[in-house]
Amino acid sequence: MTDHVLNGRRVIILEDDYYQAQDCRHLLEEAGARVIAMSGTLPDVDTLLADGPIDAALLDINLGHGLSLDFARELRRRSIPFVFLTGYDAATLPDDLAGSAYVSKPADGARIVATLERLVRRDT
């Protein structure tokens, strides 16, 4: 048993690259998280919440057929912490999302986990 704050936390991953999504899933599951959804397209937040709370989200900004910015805004509105994991520069974030947790690709797995843990800890 690990002492990660992510133990049992319900996490979603929005990532359009299959291999990146799978790598993130394995990384988060090894940290104790329960990945409840993985998607390369924008899901409906209400549908995700129908099965239980979302404790955190890992979001790629560009999902190929659209950006996750409005999804991030909806998560923020619902007080669900999220981390952008993206190849985009942080300066490209719009003003209302500037200052959001952000990890640049390619990213060290430990940094992704640490960033999510910090957000989840702050949220509790």
- Structure confidence by residue, pLDDT tens digits, 27-81: 999 999 999 999 999 999 999 999 999 999 999 999 988 899 999 999 999 999 9
pLDDT digits (tens, 9 = 90+) for 78-116: 999 999 999 888 888 999 999 999 999 988 899 999 999
The whole model's pTM is what?
A: 0.91
Would you place residue 123 in the very low, low, confident or very high pLDDT band (cuts 50, 70, 90)?
low
Structure tokens at 9: 């936390």
d(CA 124, CA 82): 14
Q: How big is the CA angle at 66 (ends 61 and 69), to the nearest 5 degrees?
A: 45
Nearest to 16 by CA among 63, 82, 61, 59: 63
Cα separation of 90 and 103, whole Å? 9
Q: So what's the pLDDT on residue 89? A: 84
Map out the domains of the chain with their CATH numbers: 10-123 (3.40.50.2300)
